[in-house]
Chain A
Amino acid sequence: MTARTDPALAPILLIEDEPSVSAFVRTALERKGYRVVQASTGAEGLHQLATETYGGVISDIRMPGDINGADVHQWIQLNRPELGARIILISGDTANSETQSLLSRGSTPCIEKPFRVQQLISTVEKTFGKP
């Protein structure tokens, strides 16, 4: 799936609780010219989504707190349908049954930890388009 929008205008929201992973993903994306806004919890991510405009969302599935990746995914489908096809999930465990059911429901791309930079960039370019 390819989206042709102007990513320069809208940054990518990265929701990831693990700082080192978040830092690596942000660095990798910024090197390719993407703008990245970070959120460290699901709740913070939803707050950002409600107040700002983003060109796409990358979210970890399993996160501490009340709101996980699946909840974020569902919120977007309901409240930001224009972003419905512009979500990339990051999973630490695809074998997890919860993750499995989430992934089996739609065509949302998922990158499994640990992943290579190349893997990340190609998925982002395919989903959000090049900056």
Chain B
Amino acid sequence: MRDRKSFPKRLTSPRRTTAISAPSPTDISHEFMDLALEAAHCRELPTFLAGLASRASEILKASWGAVGEIHGHKVELHRRNVQIPENAVDRDWIAANVKLRRTGLEVLPWEGQSSFCVFYPIYASDQELMGTLCLRRSTPSMSAEEERLLAALASYAALVMEKVRRFSQLERSKKQWVEDIDAISDYIVVHDQAWNIVRTNRSLASHLGIPPVALVGEAMRTLRHIAETGSALPCPFCQNTVELREEYIATGEGRTFIVSTSRTRGATEEDGRTIHVLKDISDRREAERRYRELFDNIQEGLFFATPEGQFLDVNDAMVRMLGYESREELLRADVSAHLYPTRAAKERLVQTIAERGALRNYEETLRRKDGSLLHTLQNINAVRDPQGHIVQIRGLMLDVTEQKMFQSQLQRERDFNQKILNTTQSMILVLDTAGLISYANRRCFEAGYRQEELIGHRLGRLVENSHQQDFEGALQTTAHGQQVENLELRVKRSDGSMGYFSVSLSPSRDESNQVNSVVVVMTDITDAVLLQAKLAHTEKMATIGRLVSGVAHEVNNPLAAILGFTDLLLEDPQVPASAREELQIILRETQRTKEIVQGLLSFARQRPAQREPMQINAILRQTIRLRNYDFSSHGVEVTEEFNENLQMAVGDPQQLQQVFLNILNNAYDAIQESGNHGKIRIRTRQTTDFVEVAFIDNGTGVSETERIFDPFFTTKPAGKGTGLGLSICYGIVRAHGGEILCWNNEGESGSTFVVRLPIATETALAASMEAGR
């Protein structure tokens, strides 16, 4: 671009020179008239401006003329004769000058063309620079006349440019408006008071498949097939003729429209216009319908409620769930007071939503209309306004009552089973496939076993060696799916002693019916076993007693005759001495038989001869005194461990002395046989109901403890005893309502005999007084 500084100094007051061949005033006035005509008929501004430039050149004797029109930053040159130098450099220089705001005429030398360029600004009425009139002249000077002409031409140009600009602006905005209207997808139709179409937008026309202009003047009723509001008016979209503004629904051809109607009042009655805007809401309607369908048919309860919990809308499932007749009934009154069993429950809900804005899987128990409880699972969202205040809560509600009931029933069953497991008097254990204990119920620990000695260990460890095979066999059977019931095993108790246990093993199966564990139920039946053994023994002894009693009777008669006749024979002096000796033997043996029978009868005796209160310790001391000499001379030591506060027992002291003596004699014999340094401990003890006497010796022990009290059972050499001593003791003690027991000492030699006698209660004493009379 050319540097303006290199330009000669601006001529603010150009020299006026006389024109060499100036056009006559008539010509000039003709030119101006033509110009006015052109301006009036101007359709194209560039043509007019080019024409104006050309006339200006002629009038002002310029070799080249142009009107530079400013469009924002750009400059457009309008001229007719373009043969005069038009290179890019010149054009840029001209354009730059066109954009300069000047107060009036400026003449600048046109460098390289040896000429001058005259610039005259064209201002709009609002002082906006619209362009510049440019003329190339050979001289820089300009007459006042010429300058006036130039100003007139520029103002002409300004007048026309402004007019054209305004016009085109109007055109543009009108066109824009139509385009805008046409761009609206809603149908727009304007009709007059005569119900004829004045305008429609493009989308309505294209819906009908015709250009918009084709509809102008047609009657509104031709649009009836699009939609109708149902009114009797000639316009299918009008509901009345007076409302200035209204909105309603119109339907047709399976579509639904929302019709917005506006009415304008014209200057006269006929000028009034009605504008209908038809918005197709079919899709929205469909979406709404689907939503409503979903809302109504979904099995879960849906609700909209105020932030305080008052229902605004609910679906049918919700109504059903809460046991109401209808949606209306549920919405009519504020049911929340009834709905929430406690006021606190509702407040908690409202509070939580206010704090968190949402609740996920919230469990709540509600009350149905009939008062029954409904267990629900809810998901709730809060809807907030732009200020963040909660305006509504929306939620989904599931009826989980059945699951809850099932769950609680399951829980109850579990509790019930747990209770059984915990309270049963049987030990219940579960063994895994490896035979290791994986579970033990509470009873096991109550019985004294420790967790660490059971869990993870083999149960077989506790079973007595001689029963191992039975137990392992039972395990095998169970592993093959069979149940084993009431296996009697000797099992080590927690205190180390062996007890009798009834053991049942049941297979437990997994989903694929494979035995995956064994349930073992163990009951300590030691007491029962011992009691049963005792009962069996008692029963046996009673049977023997009856038998013996019968035999003794039958034997007594012949024995009486034998004894009697033997006596008579011995009294007879005629009997020779030799026969007398033999009769003596008969007599002796008969008497021995008599003693045996009497012993048997003592064993079988039903009740003691005497019943009186007795001091057991005293009877014992008396008995010991009887044998003391014998014992000490044979190195047998008797120690007395007496409870001196022993209560009295009831019975026959004589008979009991016989019992104690018999036991002592037996102990003495057993010690003699063993060759041990003899020791007999006699201990008395008080229990709740009994006085207990224990004789603990260190003799040979008893070979068959269970038969020791049987009549004629003896381990002594033949002739040493009748085998009735302990049987008689048994009979006596039983007759006293007591019991006599015998066992071999554990871990040491010898045996223990225990005699238990009932204590002298008042009733027992009264009974003894009665019997004594």
The SS class assigned to the A binding surface is helix
List the B residue with the shortest CB-CB distance to A18: B557
Answer whether residue B20 sits at the interface, using C-beta atoms and an 8 A cutoff. Answer: no
Kindly list 12 other residue pairs between chains A and B, CB separation below 8 angstroms, not including A24-B568, A114-B590, A118-B567. Answer: A24-B561, A24-B564, A24-B565, A92-B553, A92-B557, A93-B549, A93-B552, A93-B553, A95-B606, A115-B563, A116-B563, A117-B564
Of A21, A62, A93, A118, the residue contacting B561 (CB under 8 A) is A21
> Contact between B561 and A97 (Cβ–Cβ < 8 Å)?
no
Among the 9-residue stretches A25-33, A44-52, A67-75, the one with 4 or more Cβ atoms under 8 Å from chain B is A25-33
List the A residue with the shortest CB-CB distance to B593: A114
List the A residue with the shortest CB-CB distance to B559: A114
Answer whether residue A107 sits at the interface, using C-beta atoms and an 8 A cutoff. Answer: no
The smallest beta-carbon distance between A54 and chain B, in angstroms, is 22
> Contact between A93 and B556 (Cβ–Cβ < 8 Å)?
yes
> Contact between A20 and B563 (Cβ–Cβ < 8 Å)?
no
Contacts of A28 in B (CB 8 A): 564, 567-568
Contacts of A95 in B (CB 8 A): 549, 601-602, 604-606
Given A93-B601, A114-B590, CB of A25 within 8 Å of CB of B564: yes
CA distance A20 to B563 in the complex (A): 11
List the A residue with the shortest CB-CB distance to B554: A92
Answer whether residue A3 sits at the interface, using C-beta atoms and an 8 A cutoff. Answer: no
Contact bitstring B582-607, A, C-beta under 8 A = 1, else 0:
00000000100010000001101111
Which residue, A27, A92, A120, has most C-beta atoms of chain B within 10 A?
Answer: A92
Answer whether residue A8 sits at the interface, using C-beta atoms and an 8 A cutoff. Answer: no
> Contact between B559 and A113 (Cβ–Cβ < 8 Å)?
yes
How many residues on chain A are close to B (CB under 8 Å)?
A: 21
Contacts of A31 in B (CB 8 A): 568, 571
CA distance A32 to B594 in the complex (A): 26
> Contact between A21 and B606 (Cβ–Cβ < 8 Å)?
no
Contact bitstring A73-100, B, C-beta under 8 A = 1, else 0:
0000000000000000000110101000
Which residue, A18, A62, A116, A120, has most C-beta atoms of chain B within 10 A?
Answer: A116
Given A18-B561, A21-B560, A28-B568, CB of A114 within 8 Å of CB of B553: no
> Contact between B568 and A23 (Cβ–Cβ < 8 Å)?
no
Contact bitstring B541-572, A, C-beta under 8 A = 1, else 0:
00000000100110011111111110110010
The smallest beta-carbon distance between A119 and chain B, in angstroms, is 9
> Contact between B605 and A116 (Cβ–Cβ < 8 Å)?
no
Q: Which 8 A-B pairs have the closest CB atoms?
A: A24-B564, A20-B561, A117-B567, A114-B560, A113-B560, A114-B559, A114-B563, A113-B556
The smallest beta-carbon distance between A62 and chain B, in angstroms, is 8
List the B residue with the shortest CB-CB distance to A22: B561
Which residue, A93, A113, A114, A115, has most C-beta atoms of chain B within 10 A?
Answer: A114
CA distance A117 to B568 in the complex (A): 7
Of A24, A62, A97, the residue contacting B560 (CB under 8 A) is A24
Contacts of B556 in A (CB 8 A): 92-93, 113-114
Which residue, B564, B594, B601, has most C-beta atoms of chain A within 10 A?
Answer: B564
CA distance A21 to B571 in the complex (A): 17
The smallest beta-carbon distance between B655 and chain A, in angstroms, is 12
> Contact between B567 and A116 (Cβ–Cβ < 8 Å)?
yes
List the A residue with the shortest CB-CB distance to B562: A114
CA distance A28 to B566 in the complex (A): 11
Could you tell me which B residues sit within 8 Å of A by CB distance? 549, 552-553, 556-565, 567-568, 571, 590, 594, 601-602, 604-607
Contacts of A117 in B (CB 8 A): 564, 567-568, 571
CA distance A118 to B568 in the complex (A): 10
CA distance A45 to B206 in the complex (A): 151
Given A28-B564, A114-B562, CB of A97 within 8 Å of CB of B606: yes
Contacts of B568 in A (CB 8 A): 24, 27-28, 31, 117
The smallest beta-carbon distance between A98 and chain B, in angstroms, is 11
In chain A between 106 and 128, which residues have their CB closer than 8 angstroms to a CB of chain B? 113-118, 120
CA distance A97 to B608 in the complex (A): 11
The smallest beta-carbon distance between A115 and chain B, in angstroms, is 7
Of B565, B590, B607, the residue contacting A97 (CB under 8 A) is B607
List the A residue with the shortest CB-CB distance to B550: A93
The smallest beta-carbon distance between A112 and chain B, in angstroms, is 8
> Contact between B607 and A20 (Cβ–Cβ < 8 Å)?
no
Contacts of A115 in B (CB 8 A): 560, 563-564
Could you tell me which A residues sit within 8 Å of B by CB distance? 18, 20-21, 23-25, 27-28, 31, 62, 92-93, 95, 97, 113-118, 120
Contacts of A21 in B (CB 8 A): 557, 560-561, 564
CA distance A18 to B560 in the complex (A): 10
Contacts of B553 in A (CB 8 A): 62, 92-93
The smallest beta-carbon distance between A48 and chain B, in angstroms, is 22
Contacts of B604 in A (CB 8 A): 95
Contacts of B567 in A (CB 8 A): 28, 116-118
CA distance A113 to B601 in the complex (A): 12
Contacts of A20 in B (CB 8 A): 557-558, 560-561
Contacts of B558 in A (CB 8 A): 20
Contacts of A120 in B (CB 8 A): 564
Given A23-B561, A28-B568, A95-B606, CB of A114 within 8 Å of CB of B552: no
The smallest beta-carbon distance between A49 and chain B, in angstroms, is 23
The smallest beta-carbon distance between B769 and chain A, in angstroms, is 15
CA distance A33 to B501 in the complex (A): 75
Contacts of A24 in B (CB 8 A): 560-561, 564-565, 568
Contacts of B594 in A (CB 8 A): 114
List the A residue with the shortest CB-CB distance to B603: A95
Contacts of A118 in B (CB 8 A): 567
Contacts of A97 in B (CB 8 A): 606-607
Contacts of B559 in A (CB 8 A): 113-114
The smallest beta-carbon distance between B642 and chain A, in angstroms, is 32
Contacts of B552 in A (CB 8 A): 93
Contacts of A25 in B (CB 8 A): 564
> Contact between A113 and B557 (Cβ–Cβ < 8 Å)?
yes
Contacts of B565 in A (CB 8 A): 24, 27
Contacts of B607 in A (CB 8 A): 97
The smallest beta-carbon distance between B604 and chain A, in angstroms, is 7
Contacts of B562 in A (CB 8 A): 114
Which residue, B552, B560, B602, has most C-beta atoms of chain A within 10 A?
Answer: B560
Q: What are 21 A-B residue pairs whose CB atoms fall within 8 Å in the complex?
A: A18-B557, A18-B561, A20-B558, A21-B557, A21-B560, A24-B561, A24-B565, A24-B568, A92-B553, A92-B556, A93-B556, A95-B601, A97-B607, A113-B557, A113-B560, A114-B560, A114-B564, A114-B594, A116-B563, A116-B567, A117-B568
Contacts of A27 in B (CB 8 A): 565, 568
List the A residue with the shortest CB-CB distance to B606: A97
CA distance A8 to B558 in the complex (A): 30
List the B residue with the shortest CB-CB distance to A62: B553
CA distance A125 to B601 in the complex (A): 29
CA distance A74 to B161 in the complex (A): 173
List the B residue with the shortest CB-CB distance to A91: B556
CA distance A8 to B594 in the complex (A): 34
CA distance A18 to B565 in the complex (A): 14
Contacts of A113 in B (CB 8 A): 556-557, 559-560
Which residue, B553, B559, B561, has most C-beta atoms of chain A within 10 A?
Answer: B561
The smallest beta-carbon distance between B611 and chain A, in angstroms, is 13
The smallest beta-carbon distance between A20 and chain B, in angstroms, is 4
CA distance A18 to B561 in the complex (A): 9
The smallest beta-carbon distance between B603 and chain A, in angstroms, is 10
CA distance A20 to B557 in the complex (A): 8
Which residue, A21, A25, A95, has most C-beta atoms of chain B within 10 A?
Answer: A95
Contacts of A114 in B (CB 8 A): 556, 559-560, 562-564, 590, 594
Contacts of B557 in A (CB 8 A): 18, 20-21, 92, 113
Contacts of A92 in B (CB 8 A): 553, 556-557, 560
The smallest beta-carbon distance between B368 and chain A, in angstroms, is 78
List the A residue with the shortest CB-CB distance to B594: A114
CA distance A25 to B549 in the complex (A): 24
The smallest beta-carbon distance between B548 and chain A, in angstroms, is 11
List the A residue with the shortest CB-CB distance to B590: A114
List the B residue with the shortest CB-CB distance to A93: B553
